[in-house]
Amino acid sequence: MNDMTVPREEREAKLEGMGCKRKRVEDVRFTQGKGNYVDDIKLKDMVFGDFVRSPYPHARVKSIDTSAAEALPGVLAVLTAETLKTVNLAWMPTLAGDVQMVLADGKVLFQNQEVAFVIAEDRYIAADAVDLVEVEYEELPVLVDPFKAMEPDAPVLREDLEGKTEGAHGARKHHNHIFEWTVGDSEATDLAFSKAEVTVKELFSYHRCHPCPLETCACVASMDKIKGELTLWGTFQAPHVVRTVASLLSTIPEHKIRVISPDIGGGFGNKVGVYPGYVCSIVGSIVLGRPVKWVEDRIENLSATAFARDYHMTTELAATAEGKITGLRCHVLADHGGFDACADPSKWPAGFFNIITGSYDIPTAHVAVDGVYTNKAPGGVAYRCSFRVTEAVYAMERAIDVLARKLNMDPAELRLKNFIRPEQFPYPSALGWEYDSGDYETAMRKAMETVDYAGLRAEQAEKRAAFERGETRELMGIGVSFFTEIVGAGPTRNCDILGIGMFDSCEIRIHPTGAAIARMGTISQGQGHQTTYAQILATELGIPADMIDIEEGDTDTAPYGLGTYGSRSTPVAGAATAMAARKIKAKAQMIAAHMLEVHEDDLEWDVDGFRVKGLPEKTASMKEICWAAYNNVPPNMEPGLEAVSYYDPPNMTYPFGAYICVMDIDVDTGAHKVRRFYALDDCGTRINPMIIEGQVHGGLTEGYAIAMGQEIAYDDMGNVTTASLMDFFLPTAVETPFWETDWTVTPSPHHPIGAKGVGESPNVGSVPCFSNAVNDAFAHLGVTHIQMPHDNWRIWRECKRLGLTG
């Protein structure tokens, strides 16, 4: 039995609850090679699927001859659009309200689009058979540049939409137009600009990139024809949504489908969507009655599933001569590729792009986003960010730097001048959000002091002078960014996916001995959920974290949840965890009162049990209460100690941070060196500082890669030129800078434990910081904006344009 006479600190330490650097539970298996990822699954009679893909970015499919492939020994089936039409699955709905071909139906719209699906006894035979499928194509004119998509004579991409003037999000203006989404007060904004003393305008292109988790997308579909049950293992960031979609598409009743996300080797947004490989594997298993495994290779991953960004943001700021921002206007051209398969909440075709006013008190703003089709892969996922937030933050954080140049002000000072002040929270933004909490100035000043910002500026001035004197060939750039994220989607009144509200869930069962299991609607892809949810419960329930199992990812056992992406696990499921725990605690209190023969109001909570007020030696520890829950409950109370919570958040959460980067640029090669990078994050209450720091390191590394070279590039013919890890920039340990991390804590007032989420902040905040550092290196030469990615040759091109190098 727990002894509540032990000092409070000792009992608290034993819990390993919130705030402690608990070592991860997951690592025990991962460090021994005992993780269980999708490709590790081996089932009896399992067969393998592989895709025939289009070498052309835009072509008519004249014919598909599968006979030679089918004749190869070991080949079991070759699916084409014609086969899928018999089960009405040649096309599937996307999360964005569009439809997408599962297999090429008459034409292809991007290079490496899925054309046929070969199923064979093993993956080697499947690969051989792919080569034997004969496809006759007739090439069509290719549209790569989104700025040409809406020209009158642009090629018609989506013939299936011909004559459709209404899309899922309103009117379509052109045959390659998907939607226009506007928000804000256009007239008031125009007025602010017409009255402004200073305005700036710049096109900020956020290039196409890709989440590229180390594990590619994969699934195993297993149809038990006798039981009529489908089991689907997959790399799914949202297993319950996959179950619902699979049921709607296949007409298998939802209770006959079990979706399991086992260990996932990183997601970063890549594994939110539903891909043709999943549909074809399910159909294959239904047809063959055998389990079908499909695993993307890296080329397929980079060229066909889930790109991110490709946002072209013409951004304007209006300000007074003293630097007070009076208005913001932004027009976005959004390249969605051949199908609009972006993974946003249904009502938000441009995600939460209207967070673009950022951390600043901007009285009026207007945003318009036009989505267009091009001959590129579909997607538009949130690559380690909330939906379209990193795009918005990039535009704002670059724009304020451009404004600072024009005003001849220091960019950090201009930010300080325009921050939303602590007393303005909850703060209603001009574009419709209500920020929960923040103390931006404190964070910014702490960052500036820690790095000695003034000293850095002095050093930069000296270095510029030395450059002028010919003593160095390096220019020094200082990047500042201050971001406000919007995460934790989200309130069901305005956030849903295919009509399902974006709540999340936790179900807790306490066993008689005081051990517990909690099942969640989310799914970890490396975030350490098994570790951190248990910490929340440990603090809430007074049960040691080591006595609590966290289980996720099996739709047969877990309560319905919307999954893990958009930094929503802690804000939504973390809240559900606390709320479910509090239901248990309330019942525990009644049991304790019964045990101690006092009124429950006479009890007070003390770390891991209750004490009688005024009689502190009279206690009921949680461990004792758990036992009593199964044999000594008050009259008329049901035995047991269980609870479930479906948490519908009242608001988003708004983590923020201040980042500063110091970079040296070699003008003769365009190569850079990040000399220093400091990241201060405020994610509200900190559940596990070790895991937070790890998340920040990872996000910064991704942000570094994106800003400095990571790109999904297409040539003019529509060929993707970066589909291997030779050309798609994933930095190694050698290129990756050293990260300094720091924090402030401003809890969310509406979240049960005050936590805001952190996983994506470092990606969101660091990309503009790196980009600002590059631009800052050239700012004294009149440069306002250099487009990303800032790889060597593009920086060198700017050096050459400026006459700094030959």
Partner 1 sequence: MIPGSFDYHRPKTVDEAVALLGQYGEEARAIAGGHSLIPMMKLRLAAPEHLIDLGKIEALRGISRDGDTIVIGATTTQAELIASPVIASNLPILIETAMLIADPQIRYVGTVGGNVANGDPGNDMPALMQCLGADYVLKGASGERSVAARDFYEAAYFTALEDGELLTSIRIPLPPAGCGWAYEKLKRKVGDYATAAAAVMLKLHGGACSFASIALTNVGDTPLLAAEAAEALVGSSLDKSAIDAAVAAAEAITNPASDGRGPAEYRTRMAGVMLRRAIARAKNRAA
Partner 2 sequence: MAKTHVKMTVNGKEIEALVEPRTLLIHFIREELELTGPHIGCETSHCGACTLDIDGKSVKSCTMFAVQANGADIRTIEGMAEADGTLHPLQDAFREMHGLQCGFCTPGMITRAYRLLQENPNPSDEEIRMGISGNLCRCTGYQNIVAAIRLAAERMNGTQNWEAAE
Query: Hey, what amino acid is at 86?
Result: T
CA distances from 221 to 259, 286, 689 (A): 9, 9, 38
CA distances from 216 to 65, 269, 646, 711, 722 (A): 29, 12, 31, 18, 16
Q: Is 384 a catalytic residue?
A: yes
Which residue spans within 485-586 are E strands per DSSP?
496-497, 500-501, 504-510, 516-520, 548-552
The H or E element spanning position 77 is strand 75-79
CA dist 641 and 631 (Å) reads: 11
In the complex, least distance from residue 739 CB atom to partner 2, rounded to whole angstroms: 6
Q: Does 729 bind partner 1 (CB under 8 A)?
A: yes
CA dist 507 and 403 (Å) reads: 50
Q: Does 32 bind partner 2 (CB under 8 A)?
A: yes
Q: Does 803 bind partner 1 (CB under 8 A)?
A: no
Omega before residue 789 within 30° of 0, cis = yes
Q: Does 439 bind partner 1 (CB under 8 A)?
A: no
Q: Does 127 bind partner 1 (CB under 8 A)?
A: yes
Residue choice 88, 165, 424, 724 for contact with partner 2 (CB under 8 A): 724
User: Which residue, 492 or 669, has its beta carbon nearer to partner 1?
Assistant: 669
Binding string, 668-707, against partner 1, x = CB under 8 A?
xxxx------------------------------------
In the complex, least distance from residue 281 CB atom to partner 1, rounded to whole angstroms: 18
User: Which residue, 412 or 550, has its beta carbon nearer to partner 2?
Assistant: 550
Q: Does 34 bind partner 2 (CB under 8 A)?
A: yes
Residue choice 583, 731, 783, 784 for contact with partner 1 (CB under 8 A): 731
Q: What token pair was written down for 599?
A: 């009124």
In the complex, least distance from residue 724 CB atom to partner 1, rounded to whole angstroms: 9
User: Which residue, 179 or 678, has its beta carbon nearer to partner 2?
Assistant: 678
Contact segment (CB under 8 A) with partner 2 among 82-90, 112-120, 261-269, 430-438 equals 261-269
CA dist 657 and 643 (Å) reads: 35
Among candidates 310, 232, 302, 311, which has minimal Cα distance to 274? 232
Contact segment (CB under 8 A) with partner 2 among 28-36, 109-117, 481-489, 630-638 equals 28-36
CA dist 319 and 397 (Å) reads: 15
SS3 of residue 658 by DSSP: strand
- Of partner 2, partner 1, none, which one sits near residue 722, judging by CB under 5 to 8 A according to partner kind? partner 1
User: Which residue, 122 or 254, has its beta carbon nearer to partner 2?
Assistant: 122
Count residues near partner 1 (CB under 8 A).
30
Residue choice 23, 173, 463, 473 for contact with partner 2 (CB under 8 A): 23
Q: Does 321 bind partner 2 (CB under 8 A)?
A: no
CA angle 242, 706, 464 (to 5 degrees): 160
* Contact status, residue 760 vs residue 681, Cβ threshold 8 Å: no
Residue choice 1, 7, 33, 716 for contact with partner 2 (CB under 8 A): 33
Please pick, among 384, 388, 405, 415, the residue that the annotation labels catalytic: 384
CA dist 365 and 356 (Å) reads: 9
Q: Does 806 bind partner 1 (CB under 8 A)?
A: yes
* Contact status, residue 207 vs residue 218, Cβ threshold 8 Å: no
Residue choice 60, 173, 298, 446 for contact with partner 2 (CB under 8 A): 298
Q: Does 716 bind partner 1 (CB under 8 A)?
A: no
CA dihedral 23, 25, 28, 31 (to 10 degrees): -70
- Of partner 1, partner 2, none, which one sits near residue 35, judging by CB under 5 to 8 A according to partner kind? partner 2
CA dist 372 and 378 (Å) reads: 11
User: Which residue, 345 or 762, has its beta carbon nearer to partner 2?
Assistant: 762
| Strand duo 307-319 + 379-381: pairing | parallel
The 3-state DSSP composition of the chain as helix, strand, coil percent (nearest 5) reads 30, 25, 40
Catalytic sites, residue numbers: 237, 384-385, 760
Binding site for partner 1 (CB under 8 A): 123-124, 126-128, 131, 297-299, 668-671, 709, 713, 721-722, 726-727, 729, 731-732, 734-735, 791-793, 796-797, 806
Binding site for partner 2 (CB under 8 A): 21, 23-24, 26-37, 39-40, 42, 123-124, 212-216, 263-266, 268, 295, 297-298, 525-528, 690-691, 693-695, 697-698, 700-702, 724-726, 730, 732-734, 736, 738-739
